[in-house]
Chains A and B, each alone.
Chain A
Amino acid sequence: MDITVLQNFAANNLWGAIMPEIMLGVLALVLLVIELLFPKQQHQMVPAAALAGLLCVLGNVLATFHNPYVATETFNGLLRHTRDGQIMRIFFLLAAVMVCLLARVSLAKQAMPRVEFYHIVLVVTAGMMLLAQSNNLLLLFVTLETVTIGLYILVSYYRNNSLTLEAGLKYLVMGALSSSLLLFGIVLLYGVAGNAALPGHTAQAMHYGQLASFLAANPHNFLASIGIVLVLSGVAFKIGAFPFQIWVPDVYQGAPTPVTAFLAVSSKAVGFAVLLSLSLTVFASYGWLLMPVLTFFAGATLLFGNVAALTQHNVKRLIGLSGVSHAGFLLLGVAAASRAPMAVGSIYFYLFAYLLASFAVFGVMTHLAGANDTDQELDHYAGLAKANPFLALVLAVGLGSLAGIPPLVGFMGKLFIFISAFQAGLYGLIAVAVIGVVISIYYYFGWIKAAFFETWATSPEAPAKPARTPVDLVTGIALGALALSTVVLGFYQGPLGAWLTPR
């Protein structure tokens, strides 16, 4: 073999381009070293080290936001660095910071090893950051599996609780099934795009750009259509779109609360990052197939998520099913993205609004959970406003933003999605989405009511509530910042909007 070919390949491996991911990997290993070197009493420095490291990486990404790698491909086309990729990096780092903060609170109530939890969160976050920037079906599969296998472990982390293990098994079977669907879709696309008998066939069939030009040359290929539908189904599992949402309520209830937050925010966002890059570039020429599929996903997901959430009493199942309806809103944005240029920015804005509001709510949930993390009923919120006004306020702001109440940022997110869907002419879907918003206000306000107003349930034989955890300073500041930014960005989205929306 000619050695210069290898040299050329190696010259394109620009390791500086994936500095944040490498830093996260090193940080994850450092945590294991800390566990090895220091006695058990000093292991509380592990979450502190994880948080400090995450903030350093976040600072690094922010400082090098406009780096020379943006809009180039590195690693021979495996990765494509874009402005959107940078935005998603910041998103996942922010989410990881919040997950680590919540994990400090939640793990303190369990007799479980601590270090591995933070280790896996860091590795999964690095995987998500690569996944959002992947430009090759091979890297897409490998990073997706890194993320998913890490999440299998995290979901079943509280392994002395049989409900958690059951959730872990369900997530494992469903996740592996969806990965197999995605993989078979990739294989079909690879096989068709490399077929020398077809026009525009390519030797690099895994590369997004090459595959896109092949698909543009063969806009009605049967096997390619099956491949595209299988890939979309695999991604739909990750974002919990109807009819692939069956795992959501069970897994969300069984998983530890910080992991539920991780699934609800990061895992869903990474699904949308992949869906956007696939549907806007690679599969763009198959619009005749994409539009009906996406429209069906969006409409059915919006309706199902909201209707199913109405009857839930366990708050983790409730937030899981309401998350399904949020996925429906985002899918509405994706369906609009091919025709309305502002839709992509709206999706990112919605994701950030969802991040702020969700972590505010999950933060409150973590403090109200007892030793049995799966048992979190709406009744446990009775009298929260009197006992802890700060948590009740954060909860109200978070839920109000999720419901889309006007001054809050969640309303602006929904508004932007509606405007882009209107520009794209998706009037039927907008009607479905409006019905969904109306239904969602009902169950979100049921939750707020449970926290703020005395009800008849406070009779002496009411079931015992788990003891609430007092809020410590760092978590309190973080939750306060989430609630404050949810309110402020609702009135004035200038900087965030200007940063997210230009295309």
Chain B
Amino acid sequence: MMTASLNEYVIISSLLFVIGFFGVLLRRNTLVVFMCLELMLIASTLALVAFSRFNATMDGNIFVFFILTVAAAEVAVGLAIIVALFRKRQTVQIDQLDSLKN
């Protein structure tokens, strides 16, 4: 069986991270932006597990649980804000949410 090397894991997680990063900056729908934020967290998680496996230390594996918990809390608060905003404005498109101006 072929096993992936550490480099491959690091490259994949970096790619995921970059995709998420540019997704946050470029996508126009708030929900998609939110998914991209989650993608960035997942990229970090993948890299942590890979490093933890190849370095033979446990810290990374434990860190993953904390990240999952934090991501869940972030989603709970974030979706609440998005729903409340949608009720007020009837839109979640980023380019229409520009009423905060000098």
Asked if A145 and B24 make an inter-chain contact with CB atoms under 8 angstroms apart, the answer reads no
By DSSP majority rule, is chain B's interface helix, strand, loop, or mixed? helix
CB distance from A184 to the nearest CB of B (A): 5
Contact with B along A183-202 (1 / 0, CB 8 A): 11011101100111000010
**Which of A28-36, A152-160, A330-338, A363-371 touches B?**
A152-160
Contact with A along B4-19 (1 / 0, CB 8 A): 0000001001000100
Can you list 27 pairs linking A and B with CB atoms under 8 Å apart? Answer: A141-B66, A141-B67, A159-B84, A162-B85, A165-B81, A165-B89, A166-B100, A168-B81, A170-B100, A172-B77, A172-B78, A176-B37, A176-B78, A180-B37, A181-B21, A187-B44, A190-B59, A191-B10, A191-B48, A191-B50, A191-B51, A191-B60, A194-B51, A204-B59, A205-B59, A253-B100, A374-B100
Q: Known contacts being A176-B78, A184-B43, is A145 close to B37, with CB within 8 Å?
A: no
Residue count of chain B within 8 Å CB distance of chain A: 42
* Chain B interface (Cβ < 8 Å from any Cβ of A): 10, 13, 17, 20-21, 24, 30, 33-34, 37, 40-41, 43-44, 47-48, 50-51, 55-57, 59-60, 62-63, 66-67, 70, 73-74, 77-78, 81-82, 84-85, 88-89, 97, 99-100, 102
B78 contact set on A, CB distance < 8 A: 152, 172, 176
A250 to B37, CA, bound (A): 20
A159 to B70, CA, bound (A): 23
B34 contact set on A, CB distance < 8 A: 173
Which single member of B51, B57, B67, B100 contacts A167 (CB below 8 Å)? B100
Which single member of B59, B70, B100 contacts A163 (CB below 8 Å)? B100
CB distance from A330 to the nearest CB of B (A): 25
CB nearest neighbor in B for A175:
B74
B60 contact set on A, CB distance < 8 A: 187, 190-191, 194
A423 within 8 Å of B by Cβ? Answer: no
The 8 closest A-B pairs by CB, nearest first: A194-B55, A191-B51, A180-B40, A162-B88, A250-B100, A165-B85, A145-B70, A176-B37
CB distance from A422 to the nearest CB of B (A): 36
Asked if B81 and A203 make an inter-chain contact with CB atoms under 8 angstroms apart, the answer reads no
A167 to B50, CA, bound (A): 37
B67 contact set on A, CB distance < 8 A: 141, 183
Asked if B99 and A166 make an inter-chain contact with CB atoms under 8 angstroms apart, the answer reads yes
A89 within 8 Å of B by Cβ? Answer: no
A10 to B17, CA, bound (A): 37
A397 to B34, CA, bound (A): 43
Asked if B51 and A190 make an inter-chain contact with CB atoms under 8 angstroms apart, the answer reads yes
Asked if A206 and B63 make an inter-chain contact with CB atoms under 8 angstroms apart, the answer reads yes
Asked if A180 and B57 make an inter-chain contact with CB atoms under 8 angstroms apart, the answer reads no
Which single member of A163, A169, A180, A250 contacts B41 (CB below 8 Å)? A180
CB nearest neighbor in A for B63:
A138
Asked if A169 and B66 make an inter-chain contact with CB atoms under 8 angstroms apart, the answer reads no
Given contacts A196-B56, A206-B63, 13 further A-B contacts (CB under 8 A): A138-B63, A152-B81, A170-B100, A172-B74, A172-B78, A180-B20, A183-B41, A184-B17, A187-B48, A187-B51, A187-B60, A191-B10, A201-B55
Asked if B88 and A165 make an inter-chain contact with CB atoms under 8 angstroms apart, the answer reads yes
